Structure 1
Amino acid sequence: MEDVIVPIVLFSVLPVCIWLVSYFNYRKRLTAHETVRHAIDAGQTVSPELIEKMSLLVDPIRADLRRGVLFIAFGAAFAVLGMMVNFEDGDALMPMLGVASFPVFLGLAYLGLWAFGHGNKSA
């Protein structure tokens, strides 16, 4: 029974996590837009400074930096886990470093996007 449940859970966790992040990002953007809409409907003037501050909520350049750092930390955690498991099983280090390389390279890619997009404010 667990031979079936473990792979199903393992392969369904990633799509669920991606969906949750996408959903909550959508909700954050929707809340920001509704706030501006309610302010305009109430007759208040919306200053450019307020729009600038609200745009920081959905700034893709800042999001790239955060994602890059988180992915690199996630990969480093896998690498440390591989070293810890290697004490028990001598053949565990290389596969765990291989698994750790995927989030590290994704993190490096996001940091590259952040670095190249940092000077371009029109993105």
Structure 2
Amino acid sequence: MHAVFIILIIFGSIASLFLVPAWLKSQERQKLQDTLRAAIEKGQPLPTEVIEALTSDVKVRPKPSPQRDLRVGIIWMGVAVGLAAMGFAISFEDADALYPMLGFAAFPGFIGLAFVLISFSGRGQKS
């Protein structure tokens, strides 16, 4: 019975990572619509910028830049160092755990290294 609860907690937490932000965004839009409805009922005119902002659902993504690539690369390399440190800590109890954890840590480490190299190669270019 405990195994079922553990599995439900794991999958529930993974599902909540996707469902909670979507629910919060829908609540925010609902409050905005209520505010606009109250303004319309009181006879206040709506600016055209507000209407354009509501009708266009364009997500603004930051442009790729060398600084952003460097930050992402450092974060990935930090994840790799953390996994390697966890493997080192586990190896005190089980000596066979070090090399698999180092191999697992190599994946985010090389991703981070690629981002850092991309940031250095893009320094001279204009965005």
**TM-score when scaled to structure 1?**
0.55
Moved over 4 A (4+): none
Distance 2:73 2:99 in 1: 23
Larger radius of gyration: 2
Distance 1:8 1:110 in 2: 31
Q: Pick one of 41, 59, 64 that aligns with 2:69.
A: 64
- In the TM superposition, 1:1-123 aligns within 5 A as 1-2=4-5, 4-5=7-8, 8=11, 12=14, 60-122=65-127
| Same amino acid, percent of matched pairs | 33
Q: By how many angstroms is 1:72 displaced? A: 0.7
Distance 1:104 1:63 in 2: 17
Letter in 1 for 2:110: F
**TM-score when scaled to structure 2?**
0.53
Name stretches of at least 5 consecutive residues in structure 2 with no aligned partner.
22-48, 50-61
Distance 1:89 1:77 in 2: 18
Distance 2:77 2:86 in 1: 14
Q: By how many angstroms is 1:60 displaced? A: 2.3
- Superposed CA RMSD in Å reads 2.9
Q: By how many angstroms is 1:99 displaced? A: 1.5
Q: By how many angstroms is 1:59 displaced? A: 5.3
When residues 89 and 5 of structure 1 are mapped into structure 2, their CA distance, relative to the original with a 3 A threshold, is farther
Name stretches of at least 5 consecutive residues in structure 1 with no aligned partner.
20-40, 42-56
Q: By how many angstroms is 1:3 displaced? A: 5.9
When residues 95 and 8 of structure 1 are mapped into structure 2, their CA distance, relative to the original with a 3 A threshold, is farther
